[in-house]
Amino acid sequence: MNRKALIYDFETLSQDSVNCAVVSMAALVFEMKLLERGEYDYETLLSMTKFQKYNVEDQVKNYNKEIDPDTIDWWQKQGKEAIKKLKPSKDDVPVVESIKLITELILENDIHYVFTRNNTFDPIIVQTTAKAAGIKVPYAWWKIRDTKSFIMGLTYEMDIRDDFIPPGLEDKFIKHDPCHDIVMDVMRLQTILSVKMGE
């Protein structure tokens, strides 16, 4: 069976998953068979990734979402490129578009799994955003998988961190960019799975 998976990641202005204002989201659909065979490359996955940037002012004004000063301080320490991604733009869309995009990707694909990194954060944002908009969460709760737990399970008692960078990708990764965050997680899964499947 060629199972498909969706992975998504939000960048936020608070660590409170229920009340945080959301800056952006990236989402990507990938095939487990191609992953197991090690057929994906970083650039291809990046080109497949969908990205949205959201109107923060609208979230604060109409949904009482919060901007945490400590999180802003943290962002300011991440460098100019990271700060640039926080600036409002005329192209920013309402945060409910995140639910619409995830729904669209699920309807267009036969999604078996929904991956995020740390399942007590990003899936909560989806739940609270969907509830505020009066629409359903677009996937069943039992489809959710956590990339960190997945990696830990496959590498238990091995000296491998869940945020390891696969060989050859050190210069490609851009920190705190949701597109790169999800692509790197997929490449981490591929690196481990392709070895496991070849054993």
For 56-95, how does the pLDDT look when each residue is reduced to its tens digit (9 = 90+)?
Answer: 999 999 999 999 999 999 998 887 877 888 889 999 999 9
User: What's the pTM value of the predicted model, to 2 decimals?
Assistant: 0.94
pLDDT at 107: 93
Cα gap 12→86, rounded to integer Å: 9
Higher pLDDT pick, 76 / 23: 23
Beta-bridge partner residues of 30: 5
Contact 2, 33 (CB under 8 A): yes
Report how far residue 142's alpha carbon sits from residue 130's, in angstroms, rounded to the nearest whole number: 17
Does residue 156 carry a pLDDT above 90? no
Closest CA to 58 of 108, 97, 17: 97
pLDDT at 34 over 60: yes
State the distance between the two ends of the chain, measured CA to CA, in whole angstroms. Answer: 20
Q: What is the Cα–Cα distance from 135 to 99, expressed in whole angstroms? A: 9
Contacts 24+ apart (CB under 8 A), 84-89: 85/11, 85/23, 85/24, 85/53, 85/176, 85/177, 86/13, 86/23, 88/55, 88/56, 88/57, 89/53
Confidence of residue 194 (pLDDT cuts 50, 70, 90): confident
Please enumerate in sequence order all residues whose Cβ is within 8 A of that of 142, keeping only pairs 6 or more positions apart, or say none: none
Helices (H) and strands (E) in the chain, counts: 9, 5
Given the structure tokens 């990734």, which residue do they identify?
49
